[in-house]
Structure 1
Amino acid sequence: MDNRAEKYKRFKGLHHQGRAFVMPNPWDAGTARLLTHAGFDALATTSAGYAFAAGKRDSFSSLTRDEIMINAKAIVDATDLPVSADLEDGFGRDPATCAETIALAIDIGLVGGSIEDATGDPDAPVLPIDLAADRIRAAAETAKDRGFLLTGRAENFISGCPDLADTIKRLQAYSEAGADVLYAPGLPDLDAIKTVCAEVDKPVNVVMGLSGPAYTVEQLSAAGVSRISVGGSFARAALGALRRAAEEVMTKGTFTYAKAAIPDGEMAALMDQSKKSDRS
């Protein structure tokens, strides 16, 4: 069994172990190494975290597919864990474009990825359900028998359309179209999460660390959740620490922030040890 096939087998198994697992979201190779060392079982990329690191907004118009794939490849190469990717809207409205995106994701070693139904258009924030399902179907056909776990995302609640019934209808359509995992970011409370889990027939991903209520892994497991991600919240937490350090230096002229920093030797041990050149 090759390395990618083994990662896919492990990743798929995590979704059927009877309890939720946490799949955090590194935004570059260094954070992937740190989170691998922390003991997680799988990782996922974050378009938001990567956008912040690149000095860009997290929006459809900010990041190209090439940029996302290069970043995802760096994360795949930095860890021995299974990696799933935030593939945004598939980088195109047409189902064939979504299928092409999945093929590229498989080629760089990813074992999973999500396609969302948001449009970025405030006047029509989510795609018509039939087109959205067709996009998932095209992606699923490309992923079939290639060791790739496809996540179908219904974006209603973070796109200004807080309609639980329509969200469930969409997730059911994405399941029928071939999605392996279902995901509706921004569900308002634990009751809504329980309802979604009860009304669909595939593992459910829930995101924590965004605005709104915070539930424990145990609470989410009891609600029926299979997978928990953190989106860009780890990246924002890291940037929050950076801003607090900067504000301390600028306003107080002190450097106590360094007490909470990871020691240099520890960081060196976590990073790639290979040499790229023989400098004399």
Structure 2
Amino acid sequence: MTAETAVPAVTSFAALHHRPGEPLLLPNAWDHASAAVLAARGFSAIGTTSLAVAAAVGLPDGEAATREHTLRLALTLGSEPYLLSVDAEDGFSDDPGEVAELAHELWAVGAVGINLEDGLGPTARHAAKIAAVKAAVPGLFVNARTDTYWLGDGVETDTLRRLDAYRQAGADGVFVPGLTDPGRIADVVRCVDAPLNVLYSPAGPAVPQLADLGVRRISLGSLLYRRALGAALDAVANIAAGRVPGGTTPSYDEVCALERSVSARASANSTG
């Protein structure tokens, strides 16, 4: 990302969180091809998913094992013509300075957003990470995640206390995965002065209802990756049973074209 393009890109990404009644639907990719096909469908902003990054290399998710793999994926995707937000688990460190260094590296390769989760650890520690990131890279959109519903009992007072602390530390948006009850979503929207991000659940409210509740960002998390794995299993089962597999199947040439476009841009950048 160049100095000339950084500010407009970040401004437009933040603006996507401030459209009443029109939340940002953020699909999460796991490699260049998945991001490219999503961008081709019209998504101007794309996130990454830590589960897929970890699973692709046989490492555990959520255990700070994939810092370099996350950076490598951001380097691959950061120069593409869409806005990139990176799922960075808890920043891969308890040291706020090290998390800020990671954020700066992500910014340098073109990311405009970062997702940082607290894992139900100390509120003050997570707030310190957020503050350090915003001090080091003020333009990076920090989406502060609390796991009170994802890993805990979903106590609303604890959720609101954590979100308020993260907002005070400088978070641009807040994220509560596992929050699906419409009444509780509305409560968080009303009580927190920041765009609320929820994780889409097939068993929860649909996108139009989430929009009506005031949600400003809807992430798909690892859902698309897990669906892709499921589609592969369904396809091989159908083939083994003598049936033609259904669903959308890009052609060999279409997939190759995605990579040729990267090579062409890289060549143009190296000669330009």
Q: 2:258 & 2:206 partners in 1: Cα distance?
A: 28
Q: 1:141 & 1:185 partners in 2: Cα distance?
A: 26
- The CA RMSD measured in Å over matched residues stands at 2.0
Equivalent AA in structure 2 for residue 190 of structure 1: P
Q: 1:271 & 1:221 partners in 2: Cα distance?
A: 35
Q: CA deviation at 1:191?
A: 1.3
Q: 2:165 & 2:76 partners in 1: Cα distance?
A: 33
The one of 231, 238, 257 aligned to 1:248: 238
When the two structures are superposed, what TM-score results if normalisation uses the length of structure 1?
0.87
The one of 123, 130, 139 aligned to 1:136: 130
Q: 1:181 & 1:138 partners in 2: Cα distance?
A: 16
Q: 1:259 & 1:69 partners in 2: Cα distance?
A: 32
When the two structures are superposed, what TM-score results if normalisation uses the length of structure 2?
0.89
Contact 1:150 1:180 in 2 (8 A): yes
Q: 1:42 & 1:94 partners in 2: Cα distance?
A: 29
Equivalent AA in structure 2 for residue 156 of structure 1: T
The one of 34, 37, 62 aligned to 2:37: 34
Q: 1:205 & 1:89 partners in 2: Cα distance?
A: 17
Equivalent AA in structure 1 for residue 112 of structure 2: V
Contact 1:37 1:270 in 2 (8 A): no
- Structure 1 residue ranges (4+ consecutive) displaced by more than 4 angstroms after TM superposition: none
The one of 221, 227, 243 aligned to 2:211: 221
Q: 1:160 & 1:174 partners in 2: Cα distance?
A: 18
Equivalent AA in structure 1 for residue 171 of structure 2: A
Alignment partner of 2:29: what SS? coil
Q: Where does residue 116 of structure 2 map in the other structure? A: 115
Unaligned segments of structure 1, at least 5 residues: 119-125
Contact 2:59 2:66 in 1 (8 A): no
Unaligned segments of structure 2, at least 5 residues: 268-272
Q: 1:51 & 1:256 partners in 2: Cα distance?
A: 32
The aligned runs of 1:79-118 (5 Å cut-off) are 79-118=80-119
Q: Deviations 1:46-96 (Å, cap 9, x if unpaired)?
A: 1112222333332315x331111101221223x301101101111111221
Which one is further off, 156-165 or 198-207? 156-165
Q: 1:219 & 1:164 partners in 2: Cα distance?
A: 21
Alignment partner of 2:99: what SS? helix
Alignment partner of 1:225: what SS? coil
Q: CA deviation at 1:22?
A: 0.5
Alignment partner of 2:190: what SS? helix
Q: Percent identity?
A: 33
Q: Deviations 1:137-166 (Å, cap 9, x if unpaired)?
A: 11221122xx21111111111113321210
Alpha-carbon distance change, 246 to 54 in structure 1, aligned in 2, over 3 angstroms: farther
Q: CA deviation at 1:15?
A: 1.1
For the pair 1:194 / 2:173, whether they are aligned, the reply is: no
**Number of residue pairs matched by the alignment:** 262
The aligned runs of 1:59-74 (5 Å cut-off) are 59-61=62-64, 63-74=65-76
Contact 1:150 1:181 in 2 (8 A): yes
For the pair 1:235 / 2:225, whether they are aligned, the reply is: yes
Alignment partner of 1:158: what SS? coil
Q: Where does residue 164 of structure 1 map in the other structure? A: 156
Alignment partner of 1:256: what SS? coil
Alignment partner of 2:91: what SS? coil
Alignment partner of 1:110: what SS? coil
The one of 76, 79, 84 aligned to 2:78: 76
The one of 20, 24, 30 aligned to 1:21: 24
Contact 2:116 2:143 in 1 (8 A): yes
Q: Deviations 1:211-230 (Å, cap 9, x if unpaired)?
A: x7332221111111111110
Q: 2:163 & 2:126 partners in 1: Cα distance?
A: 10
